[in-house]
Structure 1
Amino acid sequence: MATKAAELEMETNEHSLVIDALREADPSRKCYRLIGGVLVERTVQEVLPALESNKEQISKIVESLNTQMQAKRQELNEYRERFNIRIVGEEEASNKATEEREGAGTKGGGTGVLVS
């Protein structure tokens, strides 16, 4: 889901760039649009509204995917807490980080910096 959301966000950015470029163009100017693998000749005034509506729809889909991902993350965390599931290496990394934070306060100012 995260990959698809990132892909759709990139597509939204591309739509924004094209929309910005077409807003400055003459409305009667010819432009080409790729629809289903076929290059179609249209005018700017025909293409611009379609691009804007596509961008809005893609943005809504991205928002929907993000809310679904948030719900799944929360569900996964609740499941892991309920059954006390730990990922290999996760506990070790959190223990090391805790030890480093605690150790930094007890060691007499040892910041790991060499000064000559």
Structure 2
Amino acid sequence: MATDASKKPAKTGQKIAAKSNEEVVQTFQRLRTEQRQLVNKLSELEMDLNEHKLVIETLQNVEEDRKCFRMVGGVLVERTVKEVLPALTSNRDQMVKLIEALNQQITVKGQEINDYKEKNNIKIRGQQELPAAQENADAAKVANQGFR
């Protein structure tokens, strides 16, 4: 009976260790998913920003009383250039600020992922070990891709 009692704690300990490893992996995957979502949102906003810039450049060379059409909430609305241009400029400025904030969030999330990897000794298959400084530099390059 003494041997049976000594085996039970060992099995329970192994289950707890295995569970914690699974939790570590799940948390790591969640962090990476959050980072990917931020990068996708950043990419989407950068495309919208480029469209806004293109339209603003086009409308600046047009008479202010000329008719133009704008999509508002899925409805095409007729306006004048004089009415639309300030709204587009305001939207563009807000997008620039939002893009800067997203870049900072991506950088912070990358640092959080790197810290989590180091803390839990996570190794990714197929990835060569890089010094921490190189990983941070790579994360910063990804975050700043849109400002070229």
Shorter chain as denominator, the TM-score bin is 0.7 to 0.9
Q: Aligned residue for 2:44?
A: 7
Q: Aligned residue for 1:83?
A: 120
Distance in structure 2 (CA, Å) of the matches to 1:37 and 1:82: 48
- Of 63, 79, 94, 1:57 maps to 94
Secondary structure of 1:90 counterpart: coil
Write the letter of the residue equivalent to 1:63.
Answer: E
Q: Aligned residue for 1:47?
A: 84
Question: Kindly, what percent of the aligned residue pairs are identical?
Answer: 53
The Cα offsets for residues 44-102 of structure 1, whole Å up to 9 and x where unpaired, read as 000000000001111111111110010010011011112211111113x87xxxxxxxx
Instruction: Name structure 1 gaps, 5 residues minimum.
Output: 95-116
Compute the TM-score of the two structures, normalised by the length of structure 1.
0.77
Instruction: Name structure 2 gaps, 5 residues minimum.
Output: 1-37, 131-148
The Cα offsets for residues 17-67 of structure 1, whole Å up to 9 and x where unpaired, read as 000000000000000000000000000000000000001111111111110
- Of 26, 34, 54, 2:71 maps to 34
Write the letter of the residue equivalent to 2:89.
Answer: E
Distance in structure 1 (CA, Å) of the matches to 2:94 and 2:74: 20
- Of 42, 55, 60, 1:18 maps to 55
Q: Aligned residue for 2:17?
A: none
Distance in structure 2 (CA, Å) of the matches to 1:21 and 1:89: 48
How much does 1:12 deviate? Answer: 0.3
The structure richer in helix per residue is 2
Compute the TM-score of the two structures, normalised by the length of structure 2.
0.60
Distance in structure 1 (CA, Å) of the matches to 2:64 and 2:125: 59
Distance in structure 2 (CA, Å) of the matches to 1:59 and 1:7: 12
Equivalenced residue count is 93
